[in-house]
Amino acid sequence: MSQLQPLQAVDVAHSYGDRRVLAGVDLLANPGQPVGVVGENGVGKSTLLRLVAGVEEADSGSVRHPADLGYLAQELVAPPGATVGAVLAGALAPLHDAVRRLEELAHGLDDPAVADAYAETLVWAQSHDAWDADRRALLATQRLGLEGVDPTRPVAQLSGGERTRLALAAVITRRPECVVLDEPTNHLDDSAIAFLEDFLLALPGVVVVASHDRVFLDRVCEVIVDLDDTHFGMDGHGGNRFGGGFTAYLDRREAARQRWEHAFSQQQDELNDLRVAVRTTARQVAHNRPPRDGDKSIHHFKGSNVQATIRRRVRDAEQRIAVIERDQVRKPPRRLSFRHALTAEGRNKRGQVVSLRDVVVPGRVCLDQLDLAAGEHLLVTGANGSGKSTLLLLVSGRLQPASGLVQVSARRVGMLAQEVAFSRPDRTPREVYLAATPGSHIALGDLGLLHPRDLARPVGVLSTGQQRRLALAILVAGRADLLLLDEPTNHISLTLATELEDALGRSAGSLMVASHDRWLRRRWDGPTLHLVPGRPA
């Protein structure tokens, strides 16, 4: 078998217009050592993955990756008119071609050139498990929830989650030597995530994944690359690579931040002391000391020595200031920190806020009974297709049932959908926020959801995670009595996901949260509704 090659980016920089997204970033991914790329929303994770996958070209720096590479964007972009079957057939084609070529070459093995071509093709086919490709494609569509999708259905008619799962099925089917995946678990249920994890752990080649899924990172990734701004880095010397797994990385990241803050504080104290010394302390040598000798020449001689000492001390302090300012520890950026309540205090202190009876949406959800009390927090779980999103749409009033009764008594209902879209992408977050929250006493910048530098940029250039942060900010300002959150931790940073979970627990209003996030579910201590596809709940 041919030697598997690493993926490497060195000193990569990239801008969109006048906006610098990446500057001097390094990334190394060796075969058999899956790498997880993490960082705040908008820090450039998706951009870096497009660069290393060859989808875009870096402005500077170098990128080297295996030729046989499979790339998963956050959303599949297929040719116009492409169908589900065509996408899968395209993934199978090179594998079928390799098997067919082996059969053809087998008839001419007496020719040394043919024998060499046969050996090369055989190595490729074996490394891609080409003979198992059809079974793998079928298994991928089953485990990723695509089994019931018509192969002739146009890709453009699929939901965002279906398009992502189709693209992932194509990557798994092809089994390339290098896979680069951008948020692959966003639209997957437990069974699908376990299937993906097993696939990646079994790959002998290069794996690079940008993900917010903390359990997934813990299980799959041996190396974590953190793109967040830092001074000392994970290694104490500015490096962004940590080779100890995700759980250990969390401790290392916090320690690195505290080390940076401490070093900056110490250096500022030293600078302040030196500046004071230049202005006052150094000049107070022999201050107001009367002459002890009547001899004017001796007094003049001693005075000259005192002045020389003063000048030397001032010069030493100024030189030390220059050295520190040249090698100054940068001020740590203010941490984005979300600490606000998600809901209003709740005017309905008693009784039911939501009541559903015998609700049916054909092919999507069938629910005998559901009651949500005032102030209650309910987690809704279940496999893809079980009706989690449909249930939230019913409660929000955006969808009407074919039969049954839906009653909601909350005065203000807010909903965070899985897919966020803004009608005016040319507007800034400030403008969108003000238009959506007239009269709100909460400033967008005070919520800790968007960095100050992003508040004046067009919404359309923000990352998916940043747009979800903006949508969440609008919900928080709306002070809903009942909040419906559909996969709230999708696309958002690890830090915000943790803070959001804490906010869920603090919220006094009523909540319904639909989530496949295993980290969130493991820590949930309230009631849970588990939906099963095709069965009444």
Task: Look at residues 159, 225, 174 and name the one whose alpha carbon lies nearest to residue 71.
Answer: 174
Domain for residue 237, yes or no?
Answer: no
163 and 192, same domain (yes or no): no
Q: How confident is the model at residue 84 (pLDDT cuts 50, 70, 90)?
A: very high
426 and 522, same domain (yes or no): yes
192 and 159, same domain (yes or no): no
| Pair of tokens at residue 187 | 């639209």
Distance CA 358, CA 335 (A): 47
> What are the percentages of helix, strand and coil residues in the chain, rounded to 5?
45, 20, 40
Contact 314, 447 (CB under 8 A): no
Task: Find the radius of gyration of the CA atoms of the chain.
Answer: 30
The pLDDT tens digits of the residues spanning 265-299 come to 888 888 888 888 888 755 555 455 555 555 555 55
439 and 499, same domain (yes or no): yes
89 and 160, same domain (yes or no): yes
> What pLDDT sits at residue 404?
95
User: From start to end of 374-523, where are the E strands?
Assistant: 377-382, 403-408, 413-416, 482-486, 510-514
55 and 193, same domain (yes or no): yes
282 and 199, same domain (yes or no): no
Give the Cβ contact number of residue 317 at 10 Å.
Answer: 19
Strands 528-531 and 377-382: parallel
Does position 317 have pLDDT exceeding 90, yes or no? no
Euclidean distance between the first and the last CA atom of the chain, given in angstroms as a whole number: 52
HSE-CB for 25 with a 13 A CA cutoff: 27
Positive or negative, the Cα torsion across 114, 119, 120, 121? positive
Domain for residue 166, yes or no?
Answer: yes
375 and 498, same domain (yes or no): yes
By residue count, the chain amounts to 537
For residue 504, what are the domain limits?
A: 352-531
Does position 67 have pLDDT exceeding 70, yes or no? yes
Domain for residue 373, yes or no?
Answer: yes
380 and 407, same domain (yes or no): yes
Domain CATH for 46: 3.40.50.300
Helix (H) or strand (E) holding 278: helix 246-279
Report the percentage of the chain scoring pLDDT > 90. Answer: 51
Burial class (CB in 10 A: 0-12, 13-18, 19+), 511: buried
Strands 377-382 and 403-408: unpaired
Give the chain's mean pLDDT: 87
The mean pLDDT value for 415-429 works out to: 92
Domain for residue 212, yes or no?
Answer: yes
Residue 113 one-letter amino acid: A
130 and 55, same domain (yes or no): no
Domain for residue 336, yes or no?
Answer: no
HSE-CB for 366 with a 13 A CA cutoff: 7
What is the residue whose two structure tokens read 């198992």? 132
The pLDDT tens digits of the residues spanning 384-406 come to 888 999 999 999 999 999 999 99
The pLDDT tens digits of the residues spanning 360-379 come to 999 899 999 999 999 999 99
49 and 91, same domain (yes or no): no
The pLDDT tens digits of the residues spanning 190-240 come to 889 999 999 999 999 999 999 988 899 999 999 999 888 776 666 666 677
Domain for residue 16, yes or no?
Answer: yes
| Pair of tokens at residue 238 | 């500015």
Positive or negative, the Cα torsion across 203, 205, 210, 216? positive
Does position 506 have pLDDT exceeding 90, yes or no? no
Contact 157, 78 (CB under 8 A): no
Residue 427, φ and ψ in degrees, nearest 5: -75, 155
Q: How confident is the model at residue 336 (pLDDT cuts 50, 70, 90)?
A: low
Domain for residue 468, yes or no?
Answer: yes
Domain for residue 259, yes or no?
Answer: no
**Residue 185 DSSP symbol:** T
171 and 199, same domain (yes or no): no
Domains identified in the chain, total number: 4
The pLDDT tens digits of the residues spanning 341-359 come to 788 765 545 688 999 999 9
> What pLDDT sits at residue 1?
43
Helix (H) or strand (E) holding 355: strand 352-361
